[in-house]
Structures are given as structure tokens and as C-alpha cells.
Amino acid sequence: MRIALAQQNYHIGNFMGNTAKIINAIGAAKEQGADIIVFSELCVCGYPPRDFLEFNDFVKKSYQAIDEIKEHADTIAVIVGAPDINPVREGKDLFNAAFFLYDKQVKAVAHKTCLPNYDVFDEYRYFEPAYDWNVVEFKGKKIAITICEDIWNLGDNPLYRNCPMDELMKFGPDVMINISASPFDYTHVEDRKAIVKLNVNRYKLPMIYCNCVGSQTEIVFDGGSLVFDKHANMVGHLPLFEEA
């Protein structure tokens, strides 16, 4: 299976520009013969959307963008990040979600479990944590999709009650895909490599990690997307501070 990564610079609320950028990348991935193309966390609306999420029109435009993008997910599967409405009348109104698009349809939606509420993050203010988990079956493979912080809840003193990969392992996945909007700091490049390697060593699965680039107000995103094989060898990476 050929998997493409799209490490791009998105702008909060620029649904037209973000959607065009995503569709262009899908076209390029098709030309390269990719089976799946992976985009970053909340790429459809831009990250972090913060209080824009409280406006119904903002969420509506995000769904409209998904509808437009899925028309291009015909011969290729597309994983994009966007808010998803919580159908239950309990908890927060939205999930931070990854949409799996194929055959011009939304085939699956994965919700983020671990919602950071420290430093520049304030996700628990807006999003409900995932309460169920499943893999996505595609072309004979089972894909475990997680979102950013979901892969960081390891160690002797985890910050969150649930570890989504522990739940997803019950379904026998073949590969892990993590979509992120991970900000830059001086140590984070090596920290990311270490946490991806830790996940690979723990679950004995290859991992694909897709980050974004650019800046949103005071937050800078540095890219550095990663690919590790099941033996914890880094077999691919994208540049820092560049779209790719």
C-alpha cells in the first residue's frame, strides 16, 4: 500500500483556501499512484480554531468543505482533520476528528481521545473526548487512526485515563496513522521522534505521523512529519518549516 503525506500550511477559517490546497495535494498523490493521502489535524478549518468553534456557521462550512473534498476521494482514500458534531446530548458539542474518505463517501470518522489543556492548548474547552474506538479496514489492511496527543499518553504516569492505541490494538491493526498539529519548540523535533519510536516499540506496528507547518498568531508549526517501520527505524521524514 502506498501512503502519501501532505505537510501543508493552513489558515484558520479560510475554508476556500484550505480546501483548494487539500484538493491539489490529492490530485498530486493520485498522479504518484498513492492509495491513501494523509493530512494534518483540523486541516480543513485550521488549527487552533478556538472560539470559532462556538459559531454554527463555522462548523457548517467545515462540513461543506468535507463534502467538496470527498468528491475527489474516488480512486484514493483521504484522511483529513475537521470538527465533528457530537450526536449525543451530553458532553461537549464537538469532537476533534479524522475523516476517512473514499469512493466519494465518508467511510469512517475517528475521534481524538486525549485533549490537551496546557500551555498553548485548550482543547477540552471545546471538544468531547472519544468514548469508542475502531480501526478502518481498507484494501485488506486495518488502520489505527489517532490524533496528535493520542500517541503521547505513555509512560509510568500518564496524563489521561484512556490510551487510545491500547483500545485500538484489540482490533488487530496493521499500521498506525497519527495526524497532528504539533507546535515548534527547541526540543520537540527529537521528542516527536522519541514518542513515535516508543509507540512503534510498544505496539510492534509501523507508524505514519503527519504534522502541519506555518504559524497561527503566536503558535509556529514546524512540520517534520515522520515514517517509522515496525522495527522502529525511521524510513522517511519531511523537512522542517516547509510545505511538502
Q: Which residues are catalytic?
A: 41, 112, 148
The phi and psi torsions of 97 (rounded to 5 degrees) equal -130, 155
Question: What does the alpha-carbon distance between residue 42 and residue 15 come to, in Å, rounded to a whole number?
Answer: 11
Question: What does the alpha-carbon distance between residue 75 and residue 39 come to, in Å, rounded to a whole number?
Answer: 17
Question: What does the alpha-carbon distance between residue 94 and residue 76 come to, in Å, rounded to a whole number?
Answer: 27
Tell me the three cell numbers of residue 145: 487512526
Kindly provide the residue ranges of all beta strands, DSSP E only, lying in the chain, ordered along the sequence.
3-5, 36-38, 77-85, 94-102, 105-111, 136-138, 141-147, 175-179, 207-210, 213-216, 219-222, 226-228, 234-237
Question: What does the alpha-carbon distance between residue 15 and residue 13 come to, in Å, rounded to a whole number?
Answer: 6
Identify whether the C-beta of residue 37 lies closer than 8 Å to the C-beta of residue 25.
yes
* Distance (Å) of CA 35 to CA 99, 121, 166, 220, 234: 16, 33, 26, 30, 21
Torsion, Cα 241 180 14 76, to 10 degrees, reads: 100
